Amino acid sequence: MRSSIDHLAIAAASLDGHLLDDVLGVSLSPGGRHGRMGTHNRLLRLGDETYLELIAIDPQAPAPAHARWFELDEPAMRARLAEGPRLVHWVARVDTTELPPFPFDVGSWEGFERGDLSWQLTVRSDGMLPADGVVPSLIRWPGSSHPAARLPESGVSIEALELEHPRAADVQRQLDLIGLDVRCTRSALPAIVTRLRTPSGPRTLRSTEPIR
């Protein structure tokens, strides 16, 4: 399986008046709405085929009959986002929908569309993130241009992505099965840590802390 980091997901209580622009030293671009999930987003280019997504519940959209992705319906997640936006997940791009048995359930493949973009994403039916978000969801962009290619250069890029989890060996096995050159170390609490190069200097985002 060929794979690479596709995007980072930062969840927020709202997209309005966002401090993430100030933290990164650059304004995020408008994204769009996800009708099936009742969410909307803003985007930031991190590379030719890599981007950052800021996602929140869309207050103008009806609530879906099923769980929203990224645990956005969970009281625990809502409490965390009330403290500020957080890096909650990351998504890996793969070249096949044929997946081996994984230690952590990433869900089933579902098709999505936003404007003229279409993609396939693994989503758990309960809306929960695999391995507390440390294990990536998987995405394919069959026959569709990548959203990063449509975004302006931002001067922001990923310097490192580091993972921590109590079941580090199982997380590492899953990463190896996916074909990702990303390491996971054992820790008491799950965490995603990304180190970014930005116009305002280096920034570190850690999933266990709100972004401020």
DSSP state of 172: H
User: Which residues are CB-neighbours of 186 under 8 A, at least 6 positions away?
Assistant: 164, 165, 166, 168, 169
pLDDT in tens, 42-51: 999 999 999 9
Please, what are the domains in the chain?
Answer: 3-206 (3.10.180)
pTM: 0.95
Residue 121 is predicted with a pLDDT of: 97
How far is it, in rounded angstroms, from Cα 157 to Cα 146? 17
> What is the β-pairing status of strands 108-114 and 117-123?
antiparallel
- Both tokens of 120, joined, read 């396939």
Residue 115 is predicted with a pLDDT of: 82
Residue 20 is predicted with a pLDDT of: 87
* 147: enclosing H helix or E strand: none
Residue with tokens 């992505």: 161
Quick one: pLDDT band at residue 193, thresholds 50, 70, 90? very high
Q: Is the pLDDT reported for residue 155 higher than 70?
A: yes
